[in-house]
A and B are shown apart, each in its own frame.
Chain A
């Protein structure tokens, strides 16, 4: 196994009520990269992220995380290196600030300047004391990103992190993601419907279809000279699903 692999996936399968949702022969995610997963709705992208966060146990196959095989019962110390910003974030009752500090609270740490920095970064200082459950969809999504970043994860899994945002905030979030990856070397797996976002952010891109990884390639090659005709069709926006 390569030293640089954060995840090494072998013959991974996940079924829900006998229906195969994930069926991946082999996939590697490298330390410090931004890896984008694109694919149509229902391809299994969110399901794969749940497996990578060790929130569920695979039906078959293995996930090696930093060289160790893990499953849904990964030790707490391993789980605490990884976090997800979910497609539909659910915040806790309480203030925006409390929500952002929550991961620190779980680790027995006191909220500190990092929380305020992140509040400023996502442009929600003025709402620090507001009730989190009353925020708009886009504000919630930004709070969800901040509460993930506050714990300084080694691996950050992003599931459509800009789906509810206006162009200004899309640019803001993309800048934050890029900066975290660059400055801290955070490994990022980015699930997105938006091929242009993948092109802007990712080092490598994988196309997922019907639970399978069809093609993984460096971003430039993925878009300019895809190996698989399905990738070519998807990139051109011609994919019929």
Chain B
């Protein structure tokens, strides 16, 4: 019990003093997950929206694939990216393994089905009558689609926030393809694993608090946006 309290006190001290080693880890985490999120949103929002709007026969199959992708274990994604990027793998010549680039690739793959799948669900959730009524008011086809997307915007933001929560907190993939190298590929989650193992609970707790705070901020921001509706 004492250990927890002294750990907590030390953690707060590290946070308040903006400890440089700590900050480095936080910044790398935000960079990796932020870039992965941006890439997955750039691809996932339009694809999810297109799927939500389309009446294709194959949509059922694509939906099943996306939903499976939403539940992909990060460690399996890590393994896959590892194999792709390892020296003998098809992309070995990039020499990305154990660099932040590899971590971005893995997290993009984890985030994409979340963004696309939840965007699709949000677009499908818009009342189909809305599209017809907007058309009746004189909308072009593009204006019609835009109106549907605007209606779905809260759901799209929720999709991006959910994906952020997913990648910032995953450990399996970044551990495998990044290697948790100090000053190079160490992020919040891998640092927590390491520091817990080595008994440095203060640093582990400080990192845990930051992780929770980031997730909390993202959700508060989303609720704020929802409240404005």
Contacts and interface: CB of A to CB of B under 8 A. Distances in A.
A151 B136 CA distance: 11
B138 A79 contact: yes
A102 B127 contact: no
Contact of B133 (A80, A89, A93, A151): A89
Contacts of B133: 84, 86, 89-90
A168 interface: no
A55 interface: yes
Interface of B: 127, 129-130, 132-140, 143, 147, 150-151, 229
A86 B133 CA distance: 8
B138 A76 contact: yes
Contacts of B136: 53, 55, 82-84, 86
B225 to A, nearest CB: 12
Contact of A92 (B130, B132, B138): B130
Given A55-B132, A86-B133, A106-B143, A93 B138 contact: no
A19 interface: no
A80 B140 CA distance: 10
Interface in A152-179: none
Interface of A: 50, 53, 55, 76, 79-80, 82-84, 86, 88-90, 92-93, 102-103, 106-107, 131, 133, 147-148, 151
A131 B229 contact: yes
Nearest to A82: B136
B129 A88 contact: yes
A58 to B, nearest CB: 16
Contact of A90 (B127, B143, B150): B127
Given A92-B150, A106-B143, A83 B129 contact: no
A131 to B, nearest CB: 7
Contact of A151 (B134, B135, B138): B138
Given A86-B129, A93-B150, A106 B137 contact: yes
A55 B127 CA distance: 17
Given A88-B129, A89-B133, A93-B229, A76 B151 contact: no
Given A76-B140, A131-B229, A90 B135 contact: no
Given A86-B133, A92-B150, A103 B229 contact: no
A83 B134 CA distance: 10
30 contacts: A55-B135, A55-B136, A76-B140, A79-B135, A79-B138, A80-B138, A82-B136, A83-B136, A83-B137, A83-B138, A84-B136, A86-B129, A86-B133, A89-B133, A90-B130, A90-B133, A92-B130, A92-B134, A92-B147, A92-B151, A93-B150, A93-B229, A102-B134, A103-B137, A103-B138, A106-B134, A106-B138, A106-B139, A133-B229, A148-B137
B151 A93 contact: yes
Contacts of B129: 86, 88, 90
A112 to B, nearest CB: 17
A1 B96 CA distance: 74
Most buried by A among B136, B140, B143, B151: B136
A5 to B, nearest CB: 22
Contacts of A103: 137-138
